[in-house]
Amino acid sequence: METVAFTRMEDGTAEDYALLDRAGEEHMAGMPERLMTALEELKVSHSGYQVTRYEHSLQSATRAYNDGRDEEYVAMALLHDLGDELAPLTHGEMMGAILRPYVRPELVWIAKHHGVFQMYYYAHHSGGDRNARDRFQDNPWYDACVEFCAQYDQNCFDPTFESLPAAFFEPIVQRVFAEPRYLTGVEFV
């Protein structure tokens, strides 16, 4: 494998950085495959539910697909809980960051905030504020997040639901993550 010559970035040359650009492009091309692998890892996610997080994700995406949602929405539904393994307390923020270059801002916002919106369904049973989501009432995407949680998240723990297989969603993930369409260039500053 070809590598750069420097050990300190300040000593890098144009050739070194051209090499890194090529390597970065190759790495980015593998993004859909890495996301699908991360989805598979949800098969052994934390327990307690009647279905795995993997099945929960498939149910979410299947319901969104069956309702005629576009591919960006279906991909967001499929992947919205991937961050649970590495960032259980902030998994929405993690997934929002992953999605941001690839899906429209509304869907990034939904992924980022769905955890707070999900509290509506359970927080009152454990001393929390089920209406914590109301602090976002003035956001133009508030209703969209309420809808996502109602139709494609809180109801996706059903062991009798017939989900589409992950292989069905793989081409959708490949298309959505083929190109970072939503970057403006200032994100790296």
Question: Per residue in 137-151, pLDDT tens?
Answer: 999 999 999 999 999
Q: What pLDDT score does 110 carry?
A: 98
Provide the strand spans (E) within 42-147: none
Judge whether residue 108 has pLDDT over 50: yes
**Mean pLDDT value of segment 125-139:** 97
Query: For residue 189, what pLDDT is reported?
Result: 40
To the nearest whole percent, how much of the chain has pLDDT over 90? 86
pLDDT score for 188:
52
Confidence (pLDDT) at 185: 64
Chain CA centroid to CA 34, Å: 12
- DSSP label of 139: S
| Domains of the chain, first to last | 12-182 (1.10.3210.10)
- Cβ neighbors of 54 (< 8 A, separation 6 or more) are 39, 40, 42, 43, 45, 166
Residue 186 — pLDDT band, cuts 50, 70, 90?
A: low
Q: What is the mean pLDDT of residues 4-9?
A: 95
Burial of 81 per CB tally in 10 Å (0-12, 13-18, 19+): buried
What does the pLDDT read at residue 47? 78
Q: Which residue has the tokens 């144009």?
A: 14
Q: What percent of the chain has pLDDT over 70?
A: 97
